[in-house]
């Protein structure tokens, strides 16, 4: 029996990738794990994060019997892909901010990168911009507050428009900016809200479709044999978390306890 495709994120942001995976591979069984006990990742030390990400993913892969791990988190991908690939025997697909397609799409040559503080400042991001957007002006904006707003939206709680406005505001200082990279997997969940509060039309670009295409390349598109819709979490099972996962067809999450996570090393 072949295992599911396991999507990993610190919170519910990876659900934006689930949507793209279901469009690309409609019959493939999916499972989900979120390290909500350590949310948000962007404020944690790098060395601690790498160890934590490997532990949680090893424990979740063992629990799910996954055949592919999708790291649907930009912070985790820029830090821990090599460590995960060394620790696991299954394929690991990471998330890369969509700098390349945004640079190709922009007509003005001025693009925004809307991401968390960790992603905005990574050398990994510097290299992406150098390699694929060297001819563009890239306005980097750290909008950590949008992560919580996406979590609130999926939980059915009110979204604070003032927080969204504050997160977007630095983009509008560039009058010819016409394309924005959503460099955190949480942010596509807010796309309609972002678009509604933008003072002028822009194209919003994310990595979901590219991730889904890559997963389809490394995983056989099997429609049966494995249980789909299982999920795990590392922290308290707030009603909002369960509601968000249920919206995307996942069962209430089981808990990956600290002892299970620590024993995964």
Residue positions annotated with a catalytic role: 73, 184
Q: How far apart are the first and last CA of the chain?
A: 26
- Given a contact cutoff of 8 angstroms between Cβ atoms, the answer to whether 201 and 115 are in contact is no
Give 180's strand partners. Answer: 112, 204
CA distances from 239 to 36, 155, 187 (A): 13, 7, 21
Half-sphere exposure of 45 (CA within 13 A, CB side): 3
| Closest C-alpha among 253, 244, 254, 256 to residue 15 | 244
CA atoms within 13 A on the CB side of 18: 29
- Strand-pair partners of 9: 34
Rounded distance, CA 99 to CA 214, Å? 17
Give all strands of the β-sheet with 230-233 in edge-to-edge order: 92-93, 68-71, 5-9, 30-34, 230-233, 254-255
Cβ-in-10-Å burial (0-12, 13-18, 19+) of 87 comes to: middle
Pairing of strands 179-182, 110-115: parallel
């Amino acid at each position: 029996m072949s295992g599911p495709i396991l999507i990993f994120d610190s919170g519910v942001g990876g659900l934006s990738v689930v949507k793209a995976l279901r469009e690309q591979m409609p019959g493939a069984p999916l499972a989900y794990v979120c390290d909500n006990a350590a949310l948000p990742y962007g404020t944690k030390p790098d060395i601690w994060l790498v160890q934590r990400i490997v532990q949680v993913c090893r424990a979740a892969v063992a629990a799910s019997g996954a055949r592919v791990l999708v790291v649907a988190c930009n912070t985790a991908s820029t830090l821990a892909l090599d460590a995960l690939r060394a620790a696991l025997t299954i394929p690991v697909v990471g998330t890369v901010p969509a700098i390349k397609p945004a640079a190709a799409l922009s007509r003005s040559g001025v693009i925004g990168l809307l991401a968390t503080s960790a992603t905005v400042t990574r050398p990994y991001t510097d290299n992406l911009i150098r390699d694929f957007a060297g001819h563009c002006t890239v306005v980097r904006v750290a909008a950590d507050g949008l992560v919580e707003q996406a979590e609130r939206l999926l939980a059915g709680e009110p979204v604070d428009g003032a927080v969204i406005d504050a997160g977007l505001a630095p983009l509008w200082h560039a009058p010819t900016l016409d394309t924005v990279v959503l460099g955190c997997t949480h942010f596509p969940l807010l796309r309609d809200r972002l678009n509604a509060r933008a003072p002028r039309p822009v194209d919003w670009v994310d990595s979901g479709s590219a991730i889904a295409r890559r997963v389809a390349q490394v995983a056989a598109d099997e429609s049966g044999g494995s249980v789909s819709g299982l999920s795990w979490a590392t922290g308290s099972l707030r009603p909002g978390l369960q509601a968000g996962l249920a919206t995307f067809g996942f069962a209430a999450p089981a808990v990956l306890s600290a002892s299970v996570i620590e024993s995964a090393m």
